[in-house]
Chains A and B, each alone.
Chain A
């Protein structure tokens, strides 16, 4: 047991690897939130009137809403007037080429291991890099353009493709959906926009890299993915954020709209700063992610690896409206120290013969609390709906907690629903087996945890899978319960 404590201690004292800040002059709005700030953001971004109206409408709704208290997380009340809602890296003029990008910024990405130039050349991924709310560089745009794929920053889309933005923005996550979605709708600064035309299979993985940088900056980005009939896209989103003492607010919205026969795969690795070992600092991550399988035979798949953030509040969901549509959710959520995660999914079955699958793996260590909260709702006309859910929890140490709150609401007799959940720890016999094969304890834990999470990690695209495995090993190696 003493040995366990020792390794636990060692691992809890680990410092956050990505803790540094880049010195880029930021162009910020004053602290606080009011109509003036929203007008300021809108003006800064040269937005058309309809966009401003939309924001103001969202703001009006937000002021009438209350912060949700039902999640199983605890944090001091957030002062929404103490947040800077806009911060953009200063740019001399419009950047066209990668070479023109601020060299400081390039270094930032190099530290993160996603040097744009390198990525462009080696991995063939188009990266829409978002640093402090504004897209700085977009690569591979031309290649994608030839296929008719639109992949650009949200503000560009507002200017260049207003008809698409107008039609689909807020169609999956309505402005008044929840407190944080309304806040995002009012103040979002940028994000990514993606449109895949009819019958096109996107030849590369689309990827964005979000970071929170300037101190006291909330980041509110918005992603909209529209997959037209018969198209396919795999979208990656990754996060790392530098170390900050004050809690930072992050309220993003992701909307996916899949038409007939379309397939969207959305993968996330989230590693925001989780706070230090005493639970000080860290990101508040309140995210609304939802996909709408609008057309028949459409499919949306969410995969997430959540290792960061002081508080995570996130339920990537699927609304299965089209007949024979399919939703998937694969998740690994790791909490350590004083992290709190309340995450899961919602599968709303509306169409006939709809299918969903949920695989959730929670790992808690230190003093953390890890909750799975999910809903499977079979509506009346959802004939022959099928759901399989599995949520497993792994506990390391006796000061952490694992909680599951699955809601299963069935209104159609032909639905077949299965749900199972287990809670366990890493067995001493498993560790012993590894030890006697000459694998040291730390590697053994990493091995077992990776095996435990394999089902989810397998769903990640290659580049991400490697990073995710590293993250898991980094966060958890050496912690034996």
Chain B
């Protein structure tokens, strides 16, 4: 008996999709074509690839998507379902990768902040944008980053001049309307903070409809001396979202960066968060929480690269895996030979609620400087029986007791959220998820 199967070659399919948009910006023609070629050379990562060992992104895309694809046009009647309540913010909305003027609203003064769509920024030949775009991301190893670089269609360019503090956060909504079929969006954002400026940015991913959808979104941020960036990523979409994200942050002397990644729902979530600490006196905090149920797979790969002396980085990622979900964490800390007196800390804590849930964690320290303080710790376990018993002996029901403990576990991350309105919103979402009713 012979069975002939025509194996889909996803790399060439995606490559075909890239071809359609690779030449859409004459100014970037060279860069995009180069990325396209690199993508073909690297090909989509197999699970043999150490970076994708536990995350079969290629297989999942192969199984659930067909490339090339034309996105159906999206329509959004109201943003209300997706917006963060009571948050006074600048709002930018993309529906199926297309900028939606209708739902976007910029309140901050033009002199304070310049917010353009990436398309406009390139067409208008915005100098700062062209200077920093793709300047810091590493395109040598990751096929998906090259895919994005070669094929992105739109995104946001944010430029904050020196000495400006933007009070109102900037919220970027990435919404997929899949009522008319599968959606694939390739987005690219760039945030440039000049000296002594500050801003809070929220990226939020949502959808309508129930077809499969995929987003490949890269955000680059350049943080100059004494500037401060707070970056929130909220991933609480339906179980049909497949998502690859890369956030590359380049920090100069004495800058501050806080990132908050909340992965609450989706089918496949892959976050690459990379911080390059290219200066002295830098302080960086990375916080992450993944609450997974169903068959969600959330994979957080973070890199902190200490290139200069006297900087500080701290990372805290926590996860609760329920049902069949799978959590993956890889935290790399590099301390280069010049980066003496570096302090770098990392912790990853996990709770498994069922025997079908799994967690794969790999903290990784690579240190070439001797006068440093670095540590990492990671744990995995279930809720403490004795603590549960204590609560129950006080007349608290089993489920409530469990919810209390899970909430307390997650709350450590909420405590670090600075913005009060965003904090309240996240608190509500998380409480609801953990059935907190006390």
Contacts and interface: CB of A to CB of B under 8 A. Distances in A.
B358 interface: yes
Interface in A457-481: 481
A415 B363 CA distance: 18
B368 A408 contact: no
B352 A398 contact: no
Interface string B362-394: 111111111111111111111000000000000
Contacts of B367: 393, 395, 401-403, 423
A423 B371 contact: no
Contact of A400 (B361, B370, B376): B370
Interface string A25-46: 0000000000000000000000
Nearest to B321: A413
B361 A413 contact: no
Contacts of A404: 363-366, 376
Contacts of A395: 367, 369-370, 372
A418 B379 contact: yes
Contact of A413 (B366, B368, B376, B382): B382
B370 A413 contact: no
B370 A419 contact: no
A415 B367 CA distance: 30
A393 B372 CA distance: 11
B324 to A, nearest CB: 11
Q: Most chain-A Cβ atoms within 10 A of its Cβ — which of B50, B352, B359, B365?
A: B365
Nearest to B365: A404
B355 interface: yes
A396 interface: yes
Contacts of A405: 362, 364
Contacts of A481: 370-371
B366 A408 contact: no
A363 B350 CA distance: 30
A403 B377 contact: no
A423 B364 contact: no
A238 interface: no
Interface string B325-357: 000000000000100100000000010111101
B381 A420 contact: no
Contact of A406 (B350, B358, B362): B362
Given A406-B363, A419-B363, A411 B358 contact: yes
B360 interface: yes
B67 to A, nearest CB: 31
A21 to B, nearest CB: 36
A70 interface: yes
B354 A413 contact: yes
Contacts of B357: 413
Contacts of B373: 422-424
Contacts, number: 116
A411 B373 CA distance: 32
A421 interface: yes
A425 B352 contact: no
A409 interface: yes
Interface centre among B50, B350, B380 (most CB of A within 10 A): B380
A141 interface: no
A197 interface: no
A393 B50 CA distance: 24
A433 interface: no
Contacts of B359: 408-410
A410 B365 CA distance: 21
Contacts of B382: 413-414, 416
A279 interface: no
Contacts of B50: 70
B370 A422 contact: no
Interface in A364-410: 380, 393, 395-410
Interface string A68-97: 001000000000000000000000000000
Nearest to A370: B367
A408 B362 contact: yes
Nearest to A405: B364
Interface string A314-338: 0000000000000000000000000
B392 to A, nearest CB: 19
Nearest to B327: A410
B375 A422 contact: yes
A412 interface: yes
A401 B367 CA distance: 5
A52 to B, nearest CB: 35
A410 B352 contact: yes
Interface of A: 70, 380, 393, 395-425, 481
Given A395-B367, A398-B340, 17 more contacts: A380-B355, A398-B368, A403-B364, A406-B378, A409-B358, A410-B350, A410-B358, A410-B360, A416-B381, A420-B376, A421-B365, A421-B375, A422-B373, A423-B372, A425-B370, A425-B372, A481-B370
8 A-B pairs closest in CB distance: A413-B352, A395-B370, A417-B380, A481-B370, A420-B377, A423-B374, A416-B381, A422-B375
